[in-house]
Structure 1
Amino acid sequence: MTVSRLRPLARAATLACLLLSPLAGAASTIGDADLVTESEASGFHRTGRYQEVGRLCQAFAARWPAAVRCFDYGTTPEGRPMHAMALSTSGALDPAAARARKLPVVLIQGGIHAGEIDGKDAGFQVARQLLQGTRARGTLDRLVWLFVPVFNVDGHERFGPWNRPNQRGPEQMGFRATAQNLNLNRDYMKADAPEMQAMLALVEQWDPLLAMDLHVTDGAKFRHDVSVQVEPSHAGDATLQRDGAALRAAVIAQLDRQGSHALPFYPALAQNDNPAAGFADEVYPPRFSHGYFQLRNRLGMLVETHAWLRYPQRVAITGNAIVAVLQQVAAHGAAWRADAAAADQAATALGGQPQVLDWKASDQVRMIDFLGYAYTRTPSDVSGAQMTQYDETRPQVWHIPLRETMTPSVTTTAPRAGYLVPAGWASIVEPKLRVHGLQYRRLDAEAAQQVQAFRATKIDFDKTSTEGRQRLKLSGAWADEPAQLPAGSLFVPIAQPRARLVVALLDPAAPDSLLQWGLFNAAFERKEYMEGYVAEEVARQMLRDRQVKAQFEQRLKDDPDFAANPRARLEFFARRHPSWDTRYGLYPVLGTDTAPP
């Protein structure tokens, strides 16, 4: 994206007018103080505590009972209710009514990171304006807006002035993680947090066409004020990629007309703290909200206002983004719903087809003009590293590289029929299948089945914990094997609308698979060993076999690390001995080309 040097002043003036206009919803024009957030009443210097969300939810429902329903969809670990609002002037205020009237549902969530709370305050303000008819009149006739003001409720109540040291305002805010110190925007696939389990149940009930996740950036100082990312646009169903790209372009264009400098990529520097390195776009994995929904053949949007803007500006821009999205869905939602339904049907035929599990930016570079500030990079006498200092009094255009072309980095082939989970592991996998709304069945009787089994040749456990789990990566290969499956084993068919989600959960190479999140770590721990003196005796007996002897000597010759490792040398023989545990290194999810009886 190339920007003109003349645009910043004009856009700043436009944004200032917008912030001062009556449509910004100043409290003096409302006429009903019960519908005003503490944030708005304070001139957007503060944000209210969570109790305000419940009060406002009830006040909106009381004021517009035919257009607003307030309800709870879960309870947090600290016992707080998780509030949500359904808004529509169509009369459809529950999932059944929305489906019956074929209305698109838009899920907009704020506060998944509770220090980044713009979405809560902007959402309530926009809701009032829409219902009063002072903004985007008629939009709520054609859709249902499902509004979750604060997703991370317990984190919201960990209130303080320094929870976001890289952010300007509000005066106090919540904390990034939950009471269990989990980051909800890393939890969509593993769904460990009770809050995430409640959210996925809400998603299953309402099946939103679009999920919009409202955030505030981290990172460098610059003048672009918001980024908008949508998937599918690079990944997922081809028709939905077209729809996602059109949605992103339309929202960015509307934001720009309102004075913003919107970006179609997240502005994370390719090299930490070095603006000259430029940016690389990415397809976010499904641990993130907008990476997750494309696996369900739905649209996911990430909106990030810039952390160094003042809070009043950020709330105004977030509100503009909400309105732009709702208007786009009101205009195109019927067509996009049809495309999503077609994507669901197409996904049932993905068995045996190649699937991309992860993406990376290619080396192809486009130089862009980026609205930054003058900066210096000098050696720091504190850290000993290079230190970046920005001068916000000196606007500057950075001519920097952008890598925006996506290329597959991890691929697989989906099994033709589906996956099999042996009964011993069913209790670990079944709750995850259920929380994601995936189809599966339990085998009533023991079954002999030809399967594809993945056996690891290299096992790499992370040295540190991530989100409360020890992640795992394997190297290895699939191979055909016979298997005897006990009664109680699970069959997960590929022929279902969420086939992409099935593969992303169960293929061991997928970055947010259950395996890589550590749910199967025990399968890759050795439990039985030969004593050293026994292994020495066994090795000498096995060396009488000429073929084994030749293989051993060749390995000694070809692999210096092996030759220098006494344990590896003895394991060479242990792996060929009848006592070797054949389940060690076997991934306990199997592929199959034929459905079991």
Structure 2
Amino acid sequence: MKKILTVLMVTIVTITAYAQLTPFELSKDKNYTATYAQVISYYQKLSKQHPQMKLINYGMTDIGKPLTLVILSKDKMFDPALIKKQNKRVLLINNGIHPGEPEGIDASMMLVRDLLTKNQLPNDVVLCFIAVYNIDGCLNRGLSRVSQNGPEAYGFRGNYRNLDLNRDFIKADSRNALAFMKILNTWNPEVFLDNHTSDGADYQYIMTLIETQKDKQNPILADYTSKTLSPELYKRMKQTGYEMIPYVEGGRGGTPDSGIVAYLETPRYATGYTAQHNIISYITETHMLKPFDKRVYGTYNFMQHLISIVQRDHKLIGELKHRADEQVSKQTSFAMNWELDASRYDTITFKGYAALHKPSEVSGMSRLYYDRSKLWTRTIKYYNTYKVTQTVDKPMAYVIPQAWGKIIDLYKLNNVVMHQLAHDTTVGVQMYYIGDFRNGQRPYEGHYLHSGVQLKPTDQKVKFYVGDYVVYTNQPLNRYIVETLEPQGVDSFFAWNFFDSVLGQKEGYSDYVFEDTAAEYLRKNPDVRKKLEEEKAKNPQLAGSGRAQLNWVYNNSPYAEKTYQRYPVGRVTTDIKFDFVR
């Protein structure tokens, strides 16, 4: 009887363990990634068996399904505020932003199960996994990444609106991004990871890594990541058979042997956006041509190591985050744009394949190929220094008219502290007039991005209305505030066309009528006439055009449209005592 019971128990355990295998593990050749339905079903079953696991749905994505967050908490605490009071860290992991790069989806399913069933949950770190971020693309299953080695079928890069969601964080056109913002600003993670697959060159490594670029990251956090966290991740990955290298696209000369360039992830990207919140951030990029199972297990290994180190350093990471928040709240000058400093580089050991050329069987022209039979290891240049090309000094506060509702909504989602005016108020502020700027020839992610923005600051008295918002720049979110509201910023709200309506003139004049009005105005204002003559002497084009001179008078008269090309957000540069709604 005892023997029968033992066999029965072993059988039950075996059946239970088999039932907890993921679709990836159950597939014959480990070249299969779970469908969206399989992912959610798997997590739902697992959560019923383990009280340390909870599923919470956030928002609604563009495909009409909520964003599912998988939370693991060893002491079964799922209240973010209480977790912070317990001085625990939060690690947020994002999967499937590009569903054709699904390693993180399958690796996270295995990792969540193993942490639970092997009693390996960290004591001082709460783990949050976004099961599938781009649900829309995950449902659109096919073979769109033709240059990738498996899995046998996978999702599509774009979402239901054909947006690349890893270009959508700062502009938040998708409802997916709004749900992500809700998750991020509810759980307030200290560390963030986004799992991807690479494009580009061929080389020997399975795993490459993007970390928040050190010259763009908060210096308090950059010191820790560059000296402690990142080197430890590289060391541990090598020890477990998944040696890493910084992310490789092509190289300075097209191939890695010519040197590689550190990726600059601006706020349109996940880690650029999280960096504005002073969050330590990483992107894994497994190599697209390596077998899918190795890519999945490489991602699994990386997440294991990251969790282990965050647990080890949880107190220090918490202290550094607090110090970074304090520093940013007092920071006065902010970078708006960066460019690579090609005069400076580090050297790293790189393991590659010979990059050769041969005639193309398609065109007959010379084509690049990598010969995997010819391995090489050599020292190459790693360009990892970016210099700031533009800075701005923050004002004491910004005044945002309530008419710009999307900005107000995004600020609320991001927990920016705002105050509403209790009365109509006319105050002296600094306003920008938009001068020259450049646009792309074609839309990029649904927008004609502005760049190279020229500004003319002007001190004016401007009337703001009851309910308009004042945002003081004494907050830990100062980077997010300043980088979005200063028009010259690389991913500012102006750059993403939030304010394009101010670029259109609404009023004007009839030449033959205004001729007489302009003449009368110049007679009564000789100082303006004198200024016009001075401008004509300096500008032959103005001197030779009657229409241009008439337009000059209009623009320098009280009849000019003061809001034309005037950026509507006011910069408060003096200590104004506002009366706020209480």
Q: Do Structure 1 and Structure 2 share a fold, with TM-score over 0.5?
A: yes
Whether the 8 Å CA contact 2:61–2:174 is kept in 1: the answer is: no
Whether the 8 Å CA contact 2:196–2:286 is kept in 1: the answer is: yes
1:518 aligns with 2:510: no
1:312 aligns with 2:311: no
**What one-letter code is carried by the residue in structure 2 that aligns with 1:46?**
Y
Q: Where does structure 2 lack aligned partners over 5 or more consecutive residues?
A: 1-12
Cα distance in 2 for partners of 1:34, 1:319 equals: 20
Question: 1:501-580 maps to which residues of 2 (within 5 A)?
Answer: 501-531=480-510, 545-556=529-540, 571-580=551-560
User: In structure 1, what is the equivalent of residue 323 of structure 2?
Assistant: 342
Within the candidate set 414, 417, 433, 2:394 is matched to 414
Cα distance in 2 for partners of 1:484, 1:29 equals: 73
* C-alpha displacement of 1:302: 1.1
Q: Where does structure 1 lack aligned partners over 5 or more consecutive residues?
A: 1-27
User: In structure 1, what is the equivalent of residue 189 of structure 2?
Assistant: 208
Cα distance in 1 for partners of 2:439, 2:169 equals: 22
**Alpha-carbon spacing, 1:191–1:323, altered in 2? closer, same or farther (3 Å):** same
Whether the 8 Å CA contact 1:232–1:294 is kept in 2: the answer is: no
Question: 1:95-174 maps to which residues of 2 (within 5 A)?
Answer: 95-133=80-118, 138-160=120-142, 162-174=143-155
**Alpha-carbon spacing, 1:30–1:114, altered in 2? closer, same or farther (3 Å):** farther
Cα distance in 1 for partners of 2:349, 2:309 equals: 28
Residue deviations 1:6-38, cap 9 Å, x none?
xxxxxxxxxxxxxxxxxxxxxx98952332221
1:279 aligns with 2:282: no
**What one-letter code is carried by the residue in structure 1 that aligns with 2:147?**
N
User: In structure 2, what is the equivalent of residue 5 of structure 1?
Assistant: none
Question: 1:57-96 maps to which residues of 2 (within 5 A)?
Answer: 57-65=43-51, 67-96=52-81
Whether the 8 Å CA contact 2:95–2:132 is kept in 1: the answer is: yes
Whether the 8 Å CA contact 2:328–2:478 is kept in 1: the answer is: yes
User: In structure 2, what is the equivalent of residue 234 of structure 1?
Assistant: 215
Cα distance in 2 for partners of 1:229, 1:565 equals: 55
Name which of structure 1's ranges 374-383 and 204-213 shifts more when overlaid on structure 2. Answer: 374-383
Give the structure-1-normalised TM-score: 0.86
* C-alpha displacement of 1:255: 0.7
* C-alpha displacement of 1:368: 4.4
Residue deviations 1:410-441, cap 9 Å, x none?
211111x2111134x34242112112221111
Residue deviations 1:510-552, cap 9 Å, x none?
1111111100000111223334556777788869934312312
Name which of structure 1's ranges 489-498 and 359-368 shifts more when overlaid on structure 2. Answer: 359-368
Residue deviations 1:111-141, cap 9 Å, x none?
01111100010111112222222xxx64422
Cα distance in 1 for partners of 2:350, 2:545 equals: 53
Question: 1:424-503 maps to which residues of 2 (within 5 A)?
Answer: 425-473=403-451, 474-503=453-482
**Alpha-carbon spacing, 1:74–1:565, altered in 2? closer, same or farther (3 Å):** farther
**What one-letter code is carried by the residue in structure 2 that aligns with 1:427?**
G
* C-alpha displacement of 1:179: 0.6
Residue deviations 1:83-132, cap 9 Å, x none?
22111222223324422322111111110111110001011111222222
Residue deviations 1:365-401, cap 9 Å, x none?
3454432212224686977986322222322346543
**Alpha-carbon spacing, 1:70–1:397, altered in 2? closer, same or farther (3 Å):** same
Match of 1:458, SS state, is: coil
Whether the 8 Å CA contact 1:234–1:283 is kept in 2: the answer is: no
Name which of structure 1's ranges 290-299 and 476-485 shifts more when overlaid on structure 2. Answer: 476-485
**Alpha-carbon spacing, 1:578–1:112, altered in 2? closer, same or farther (3 Å):** same
User: In structure 2, what is the equivalent of residue 13 of structure 1?
Assistant: none
Question: 1:373-412 maps to which residues of 2 (within 5 A)?
Answer: 373-377=353-357, 387-397=367-377, 400-412=380-392
**What one-letter code is carried by the residue in structure 2 that aligns with 1:551?**
E
Match of 1:348, SS state, is: helix
Whether the 8 Å CA contact 1:34–1:59 is kept in 2: the answer is: no
Name which of structure 1's ranges 274-283 and 316-325 shifts more when overlaid on structure 2. Answer: 274-283
Cα distance in 2 for partners of 1:282, 1:572 equals: 46
User: In structure 1, what is the equivalent of residue 568 of structure 2?
Assistant: 588
Cα distance in 2 for partners of 1:154, 1:443 equals: 40
Residue deviations 1:432-472, cap 9 Å, x none?
21122211111110222221211122143443222222322
Match of 1:213, SS state, is: strand
**Alpha-carbon spacing, 1:479–1:319, altered in 2? closer, same or farther (3 Å):** same
Question: 1:241-320 maps to which residues of 2 (within 5 A)?
Answer: 241-245=222-226, 246-263=228-245, 265-270=246-251, 273-275=254-256, 277-320=258-301
**Alpha-carbon spacing, 1:171–1:440, altered in 2? closer, same or farther (3 Å):** same
**Alpha-carbon spacing, 1:31–1:366, altered in 2? closer, same or farther (3 Å):** same
**Alpha-carbon spacing, 1:431–1:139, altered in 2? closer, same or farther (3 Å):** same
Give the structure-2-normalised TM-score: 0.88
**What one-letter code is carried by the residue in structure 2 that aligns with 1:223?**
Q
Cα distance in 2 for partners of 1:467, 1:334 equals: 40
User: In structure 2, what is the equivalent of residue 52 of structure 1?
Assistant: 38
Match of 1:204, SS state, is: helix
**Alpha-carbon spacing, 1:550–1:101, altered in 2? closer, same or farther (3 Å):** closer
Cα distance in 2 for partners of 1:100, 1:54 equals: 31
Question: Cα RMSD (Å) of the superposition?
Answer: 2.8
Match of 2:466, SS state, is: coil
Match of 2:205, SS state, is: coil
Match of 1:52, SS state, is: helix
* C-alpha displacement of 1:150: 0.8
* C-alpha displacement of 1:266: 2.4
Whether the 8 Å CA contact 2:90–2:126 is kept in 1: the answer is: yes
Name which of structure 1's ranges 244-253 and 533-542 shifts more when overlaid on structure 2. Answer: 533-542
Whether the 8 Å CA contact 1:44–1:311 is kept in 2: the answer is: yes
Whether the 8 Å CA contact 2:62–2:160 is kept in 1: the answer is: yes
Cα distance in 1 for partners of 2:436, 2:42 equals: 55
Q: How many residues align?
A: 556
**Alpha-carbon spacing, 1:212–1:366, altered in 2? closer, same or farther (3 Å):** closer
**Alpha-carbon spacing, 1:56–1:404, altered in 2? closer, same or farther (3 Å):** same
Residue deviations 1:26-56, cap 9 Å, x none?
xx98952332221111142111211111211
**What one-letter code is carried by the residue in structure 2 that aligns with 1:465?**
P
Match of 2:59, SS state, is: strand
**What one-letter code is carried by the residue in structure 2 that aligns with 1:487?**
V
Whether the 8 Å CA contact 1:72–1:83 is kept in 2: the answer is: yes
* C-alpha displacement of 1:326: 0.3
